[in-house]
Structure 1
Amino acid sequence: MTSQICVARIGTAHGVRGAVKLWTFTEDPLAVKHYGPLMTKDGARQFEVTHVREARDHLVATLKGIASREDAERLNGLELYVAREKLPETDEGEYYHADLIGLAAVNAANEPLGRVTAIHNFGAGDIIEIAPPQGPTMLLPFTNAVVPTVDLAGGRVVIELPQEVEGDEAPTLT
């Protein structure tokens, strides 16, 4: 398991006094204010959230030491991390994305399928991305039917691949 978890990404500047748009990857978006200093992945920079408020699909945050629009613009795209021990423990059947990335993906017969390279969510639910040793990556829904077993201690996830569809016709959408 990783020692750092990415909890937010800084977006564009908001206003002229150094505020930034902030996208959080936490269950409670406002929790980023309570984790203490947020760090860059390499730990070279730390940012303390001094004020935060909700906006339409993101937060607007003020960071200690960032006082101008120009300072804020230089932070665009920066990912922010916290030490894992500052985050709450997960419940049964809950996982941090970072815990899944890098796990071996196997089928029900324990035959290797590849490695978990990412977890995505485009709005309709989580998607697990599996990179096989050769060929294109697989994007599968992260559901109990497709991923019935997550074995963090064993370093693997079991993937139930959907049965191949017979025929080569595309389904009709109405």
Structure 2
Amino acid sequence: MTHVVARIGKPHGIKGEVTVQAHTDDPAGRFAVGTVLPTRAAAGSGVPLALTISSARDHNGVWLLGFEEIPDRTGAEGLRGTRLLTPEGGEELLEPDEGGDAWYEEQLVGLAAVRADGSVVGTVSGLDIGPGQDRLVLTLPDGRTAYLPFVAALVPEVDLAGGRIVVAPPEGLLELDA
């Protein structure tokens, strides 16, 4: 099984570098020059099936990556939203925290978001990795998108086996984003 190690954001500069949201505790190791990372992108996007890292650096807390296959900013624009996956055989460094408080995005996507009383709030559709805290991306029953800080006070339970997370958003929080 492969895991998402980063999500590509916006281009940085004119030489094809991009910002990435790192989903790994060892970005320096994962993003070593020469590493080939499989990609997951929208069908027909033109994104290569794998990208070879040509440069990697931490710039004020944000990782910037360059790829051999992407020579300029125009090419980098087309990568936005692409997920970088673990290379074959690389999963041993990314074991989930069994029973702990760390999960992979792909474990969370699709889980029902419910209140403690069982009422449905929505479905987890993504995870937004932030410098201060992560946010769950929720698709509400009416199709709108809302963001919920992924902290124990607001997400007291993650039940992977039960296919749900229990959420306790303050009144009005989900309406702010939607």
TM over 0.5: yes
Residues 30-78 of structure 1 show CA distances to partners (whole Å, capped at 9, x for unaligned) of 2332594222315842112144233234344443355x44xx5313241
User: Residue 176 of structure 2 aligns with which residue?
Assistant: none
Greater CA deviation, 86-95 or 74-83? 74-83
What are the residue-to-residue correspondences of 1:1-174 with 2, within 5 Å? 3-5=2-4, 7-9=6-8, 11-12=10-11, 14=13, 18=15, 20-26=17-23, 27-34=25-32, 36-42=35-41, 44-66=48-70, 68-69=71-72, 73-78=74-79, 79-83=82-86, 86-87=90-91, 88-91=94-97, 92-121=100-129, 123-134=131-142, 136-162=144-170
- d(CA) in 1 for partners of 2:123, 2:76: 32
- d(CA) in 2 for partners of 1:138, 1:62: 32
Secondary structure in 2 aligned to 1:75? helix
Contact 1:9 1:77 in 2 (8 A): no
TM-score (norm 1): 0.68
CA RMSD of aligned residues (A): 3.3
Secondary structure in 2 aligned to 1:153? coil
Contact 1:10 1:20 in 2 (8 A): no
Secondary structure in 1 aligned to 2:29? helix
Contact 2:16 2:76 in 1 (8 A): no
Task: Give the letter for the 1:37 counterpart.
Answer: V
Secondary structure in 1 aligned to 2:161? coil
Contact 1:19 1:60 in 2 (8 A): no
Contact 2:8 2:83 in 1 (8 A): yes
- d(CA) in 1 for partners of 2:68, 2:145: 41
Secondary structure in 2 aligned to 1:30? helix
Residues 122-149 of structure 1 show CA distances to partners (whole Å, capped at 9, x for unaligned) of 5442222332323744433222122111
Task: Give the letter for the 1:5 counterpart.
Answer: V
Number of residue pairs matched by the alignment: 158
Cα distance, 1:75–1:137 mapped onto 2, change above 3 Å: closer
Which is higher, the Rg of structure 1 or of structure 2? 1
> Shift of the alpha carbon at 1:121?
4.7
Task: Give the letter for the 1:142 counterpart.
Answer: F
Secondary structure in 2 aligned to 1:40? strand
Task: Give the letter for the 2:104 counterpart.
Answer: Y
